[in-house]
With several copies, the nearest count.
Chain A
Amino acid sequence: MKRLLWLIFAMTLLGSCLLGSTVIHPFNLTAVERDILFGLRLPRVLFSAVIGAMLGLSGSVYQLTLKNPLADSFTTGAASSAALGAVLAIALGIPLPLVPLVALLTGLGGLLLVYRLARQEGFINPVNMILAGIVMNIVASAVISFAKYYFEDSLSSIVFWLMGGFFVVDWGKLLVCLPVFAAAYLLFARRALQLNLLALDEHSAQSLGVNVHRLRSFAFVVATLLVAVAVSHTGIIGFVGLIVPHICRSLFGSDMRHNLFYSSLLGALLLMAADTLARTIIPGGAELPVGIITALLGGGFFLYLLQTRREGFWHG
């Protein structure tokens, strides 16, 4: 199963590199083709895979730490607070390369706020995290709406940025995101066993030697960082973080050691395939926003699983 998935992944990667609005002859590259392949397409394909992996991974962790099947980067306020910075940066005309930085900063700010709100007498519990996330999400979304309204000249830029996508990718961005993902993945994977225990009640987990509050805080902070980095580079790509972990739990079991891995892999696969479709499906070079394809591919598969193997999703 794992090998099959890797195979599919590799084939999708290859296909994504060769398909596109301009044809590429792999054995007979012209200079322009090489330019397009290595300068534009390959980084974009890899980037979409990394972002997909980031979103899948963060969703997997959020659902566990918040103990809620509806938890994702939206409900925790992480996506909106990062998006807020980007929107303001775009609206205020801050130079391009700084936009992800500003987004990251507001994302971190949001994280801090949610974290402070969720803590109660030093403890952090799922219900409080949810309530605090709601607050953050409300406030950030309100400010984003205001920016859309107030900076009307930037409205279309803002809306399309928010829609998310891999617009202009260079190796530099990839060099930022890949290490962030790799670091986060390693940090989580090293704690996969402990993370599993968060599915138990707090006392059981704690008496097994897991510092539940610290682990929850840690997982929350790292997942939010992932989301902030992803959102700051690509805008809001919804639902990947929500459905991919459910799909993986249903297919590969609840064990977080698998869920972390498969959520990343399936997230990468989904986003890579969706982006390839998004840029090739309409003849004439027009691109669909990737979120549309993601939703249709992912949503369709989720629907199929929901019809066929409902038990594996969530206890209840």
Chain B
Amino acid sequence: MAELRVDKLRFRRGGFSLELDGLRIAPGEKVAILGENGCGKSTLLQLLAGLLPPDGGTLSYAGKPLKKIPMARRAQLFALLPQFSEVIFPFSVFEVVLFGRFPHRQGNAFTAADRQLSKEMLALLDLSDLAERPFSQLSGGEKRRVMLARVLNQQAPLLYLDEPNAGLDIRHALEIFSLLRERTETIVAPVHDINLAHRFFERFLLLKNGRLLADVPRDELTPELLAETYDVQVATGTAAFLFQH
């Protein structure tokens, strides 16, 4: 079973330390990571994706230690949307999205199928009009969507999305979240918009100062827990706009 297991994970950098004693994420689960700035969400994601070497503990996917999975294989298992990304050459939007097909390349060129998939992915993320535009000439949210398209194009069963709705307008955020909810992939995503996360995710990891405060399903995400995580007062049921895709 393609389960993600974390045991006694330890990591420190400067004055920050992250400890995670045990975590299992089953295939298809939609897990949001909640926690304040600097609590270690991005760091955890990088550790899970094998981009940072942990100082201790083990990570395994489908029973296999992460260390033993070669990098090329990992890209077929996990995809990562980093919090910040950059592209130094003037690549076009289509080229960037096509990069997502890299783990599935046959030989040294992308196939017509890859191109077709990329086009579909562009359409899915409402980017078809921008396909030929240089990546550097996009608005912030557009760039972000291009990167999301690249990540989804990777067709990995496990997606690490670092703040997938950052910089997205509400329509695109909703579209993408409902899209994600309906897909079979496992999703692990730090999210700052708690109401949105609450609607679309089913399990919540609450992180504070590098420690796991709680690991709860949707109906146990109580105002008290949130209050403790963020040190704010939380109430429910108050009037607000509700956006529907």
Asked if A190 contacts B102 (CB within 8 A), the reply is: no
- With A204-B147, A208-B99, A210-B71 already in contact, the answer to whether A199 and B80 are too (CB < 8 A) is no
Contact A193 B72 (CB under 8 A): no
Residues of A within 8 A of B (CB): 64, 67, 189-194, 196-197, 199-201, 203-204, 206-211, 249, 253-255, 257, 311-316
Q: Which of B28-36, B103-111, B188-196, B217-225 contacts A (4 or more CB under 8 A)?
A: B103-111
Contacts of B105 in A (CB 8 A): 193
Tell me the bound Cα distance from A199 to B86 in angstroms.
8
- CB pair A203–B86 under 8 Å, yes or no, is no
Closest to B91 in A: A254
Known pairs A192-B108, A201-B82, A315-B136; A209 contacts B103 (CB<8 A) = yes
Interface size bracket, B side: 35 or more
Q: Which residue of A lies closest to B76 (CB)?
A: A209
Q: Please, how many angstroms separate the alpha-carbon atoms of A149 and B84 in the complex?
A: 51
Q: Are A200 and B86 in contact (CB under 8 A)?
A: yes
Checking B51, B71, B90 against A311 with a beta-carbon cut-off of 8 angstroms, the contacting residue is B90
B86, A255: Cβ atoms closer than 8 Å: no
Known: A191-B108, A316-B88. 17 other contacts (CB 8 A): A193-B109, A193-B110, A196-B95, A196-B99, A199-B89, A201-B86, A203-B49, A203-B80, A204-B82, A207-B51, A207-B79, A207-B160, A208-B154, A209-B74, A249-B90, A254-B90, A257-B108
Whether the pair B82, A203 counts as a contact (CB closer than 8 A) is yes
Q: How distant is A264 from chain B, measured CB to nearest CB, in Å?
A: 16
Contact residue among B79, B88, B100, B160 (Cβ-Cβ distance under 8 Å from A315): B88
The chain B residue sitting closest to A123, CB to CB, is B53
Residues of chain A within 8 A (CB-CB) of B110 are: 193
- List of A residues within 8 angstroms of B78 by Cβ: 207
- Chain B 64-98, CB-CB to A under 8 Å as 1, else 0, gives 00000001111110111010111111111001000
Tell me if B108 and A189 are in contact (CB < 8 A).
yes
In angstroms, how far is the closest chain A Cβ from the Cβ of B7?
22
**A203 vs B83: C-alpha distance in the bound complex, in angstroms?**
10
Establish whether residues B90 and A314, one from each chain, have CB atoms under 8 Å apart when the complex forms.
yes
A203 touching B89, Cβ below 8 Å: no
Give chain A residues whose Cβ lies under 8 Å from the Cβ of B74. Answer: 207, 209
Contact A314 B89 (CB under 8 A): yes
Instruction: Contact check, A208 vs B90: say whether CB atoms are below 8 A apart.
Output: no
Q: CA–CA, A314 to B108, complex, Å?
A: 25
Q: Is B60 positioned at the interface, with any CB of A under 8 Å from its CB?
A: no
Q: Pick 7 A–B contacts, CB within 8 A, sort by A.
A: A189-B108, A200-B86, A204-B80, A204-B147, A207-B82, A249-B89, A249-B90
A-B contact count (CB 8 A): 99
Is B46 located at the chain interface by the 8 A CB criterion? yes
B134 adjacent to chain A (CB < 8 Å): yes
A53 CB → nearest B CB, Å: 19
Complex-state Cα separation, A192 to B92, whole angstroms: 17
The 9 closest A-B pairs by CB, nearest first: A209-B75, A254-B89, A207-B80, A203-B82, A209-B72, A209-B103, A199-B89, A211-B71, A315-B136
A207-B49, A209-B75, A257-B109 given; A200·B100 CB < 8 A: no
| Cβ A207 vs Cβ B90 within 8 A | no
Alpha-carbon separation in the docked complex, A189 to B79 (Å):
25
By the criterion CB–CB under 8 Å, are A210 and B90 in contact? Answer: no
Flag if B85 contacts A204 (CB, 8 Å).
yes
CB neighbours (8 Å) of A197 from chain B are 99, 102
Residues of A within 8 A of B46 (CB): 203
Residue of B nearest to A215 (CB): B71
Identify the closest chain A residue to B100 (Cβ): A208
Bound complex: CA A92 to CA B109 (Å):
50
Give chain A residues whose Cβ lies under 8 Å from the Cβ of B134: 311, 315
Which residues of chain B are near A254, meaning CB under 8 Å? 89-91, 95
In the complex, the answer to whether A200 meets B102 with C-beta atoms within 8 Å is: no
CA distance A314 to B99 in the complex (A): 19
Shortest Cβ distance from residue A62 to the other chain B in the assembled complex, whole angstroms: 13
Q: How far is the CA of A67 from the CA of B88 in the complex (A)?
A: 7
Which A residues lie within 8 Å of B89 (CB)?
64, 199, 249, 254, 314-315
* Minimal beta-carbon separation of B187 from chain A (angstroms): 15
Query: For residue B110, which residue of chain A has the nearest CB?
Result: A193
A residues within 8 A CB of B49?
A: 203, 207
